[in-house]
Structure 1
């Protein structure tokens, strides 16, 4: 039996909706990363205005913000390659149903690690 290309346009529309959801996720990560990076600058300015002196910072918010922005970029690039591969598989009839989204699992684990790190940081900072 030869594989047949997918003819139902709803399948392609669903793939496009999934792709757009990944784009929103990547953009959201980039926005949160930018806010995290700038929040450290905001806190430093607030402390400097209270003490009227130069306040040094560890730069943790800057580096963690940059890392989250970079994660958003990785999500966007990964979503493009995954979407193109999926469309190719649907067009050639080689798509296998029931596969786990490796990208979603990896992103969830990375974000869980980021959340764990932030929790530990907040506990230590108390």
Structure 2
């Protein structure tokens, strides 16, 4: 039989995943607006206009979508675990593959943003 501390532990885990999803969405919004910031910066520095390829909008949108996906999957997983505890079953723990996939995705998005920033700052640096 599940004890209250088991339900509270499941809820803490769920809330941690929700924070992760919200952080991804917030960060995605900031990244999407970064292109607008670069355009404004180019207007202030009239010596060299900064090119805008719209990459930040796409990266930001992808991060927002990832945040939505993480939030939805965490809600689904939380409901599944609570139902298993209600039925006096031991919750089946999923592998850490989803966590590794999210971490890999974020690392790749960070790399893409770094490359984008380098190409905006020093246009001839990366072919």
Q: Could you report, residue by residue, the CA deviation over 1:78-108 in whole angstroms, capped at 9, with x for unpaired residues?
A: 1110100111111113335664244322211
Secondary structure, in 3 states, of the residue corresponding to 2:52?
A: coil
Q: 1:118 to 1:50 in 2, by over 3 A?
A: closer
Could you tell me which runs of 5 or more consecutive residues in structure 1 were left unpaired when the two chains were aligned: none
Give yes or no for the alignment of 1:28 onto 2:32. Answer: no
Contact 1:78 1:103 in 2 (8 A): no
Preserved CA contact (<8 Å) 2:28 2:61: yes
Task: Show structure 2 runs of 5+ residues with no match.
Answer: 123-127
Matched, 1:82 2:77: yes
Taking the TM superposition and a 5 Å limit, the aligned residue runs for 1:1-126 are 5-6=1-2, 8-51=3-46, 56-96=51-91, 99-122=94-117, 124=119, 126=122
The TM-score normalised by the length of structure 1 is: 0.81
Give the TM-score normalised by the residue count of structure 2. Answer: 0.81
